[in-house]
Amino acid sequence: MLSIFGCPVKIFCNKETVTINVRNKETNEKIKLYDYVKKKCPSLIGDKAYYYPTPWIGNGHVQTAYAAFQKFEDIHLIDYERKIVSTPDGGQIAVDWTPPLSKKPFDDTPTIVVLHGLTGGSHESYIRCILDILVNPPHNYRAVVINFRGCAESDITSPRLYSAAATDDIRSAIRYIRECIPDAPLLGIGFSMGANILVKYLGEEGENTPLSAAASIANPFDLVNGSRALEGTYAGKYIYSPAMASNLKEALARHEHMMKKDKRLDLEYVKSANTLREFDSRLTTMIQLLHNNVFLIMNAFIIQILS
């Protein structure tokens, strides 16, 4: 746990880090990832690498509360243009481009593909904050945020939401992005659940992915043990898990008219869920079972054993 006195920053990496396709402007040679990070972010490397939090938000719990309740609507303003991608099951995904295509038509500009966290979207402050840096001078990237089904004020057109186990929507969205900008380098950034889905997608695609590089931020890698750990502490069981379940139930309420079309779903039972795990087992897992998602069938079985 952080304190107002700070803590050291440590970089964990293999002895031999990969060589990345970023050229050293002075020598015109490729550079190792560790050396690139050391050059561009010297504050992260060495004995003086130390993180000092703002004194009055000195630990993760207070920082989480601050991020949840503080208003950030008036900073890091991003102008988006929304496009809709259809999915094979009749659903749709909203993708938000910035700069808007009316101001910057498709070309070969390097493009950041962004995946948000649970119940988030392109409107979230952490998304806008990083894009405000990346799409403006001196970097001048293009960016496109893939909003999960029903997020960021998008509508759902089939009785199915999203889950960390399903990568088909992301695959469809990235395929669409590649078709729009076939010559642009694509780079991925995922936050939280979006990071989990991004890494899973990359593992499935391997060398076939059009993404040249990706960053996974705050990834809950082990969802099963993460669920157990979340409900294994007082704050997790009585604050965080109920809060996340409440956010998911709000998302469900916005799209209940469409979800009711699948008569096999007991939505009243879902709405009585008090924790994240209860919501997942009553809706997310059930939808994937109905769609024959073998991975989630196994995942649901494991969770029940461990619970």
Domain that holds residue 211: 81-217
Last residue of a domain, one of 19, 47, 69: 69
* pLDDT tens per residue, range 129-175: 999 999 999 999 999 999 999 899 888 888 777 778 789 999 999 99
* pLDDT tens per residue, range 79-114: 999 999 999 989 999 999 999 999 999 999 999 999
Between 301 and 2, the higher pLDDT residue: 2
Q: What are the Cα distances from residue 260, in Å, to 63, 252, 254, 255?
A: 37, 10, 12, 9
Same domain, 206 and 237: no
Same domain, 232 and 262: yes
How would residue 297 be classed by pLDDT, with cut points 50, 70 and 90? very low
Same domain, 95 and 204: yes
* CATH number of the domain within which 139 lies: 3.40.50.1820
Q: How many domains does the chain have?
A: 3
Helix (H, G, I), strand (E, B) or coil at 216: strand
Structure tokens at 124: 């979230």
Q: Is residue 76 part of a domain?
A: no
User: What is residue 50's DSSP assignment?
Assistant: E
pTM of the model: 0.83
31, pLDDT greater than 50: yes
End-to-end CA distance of the chain: 26
Q: Is residue 246 part of a domain?
A: yes
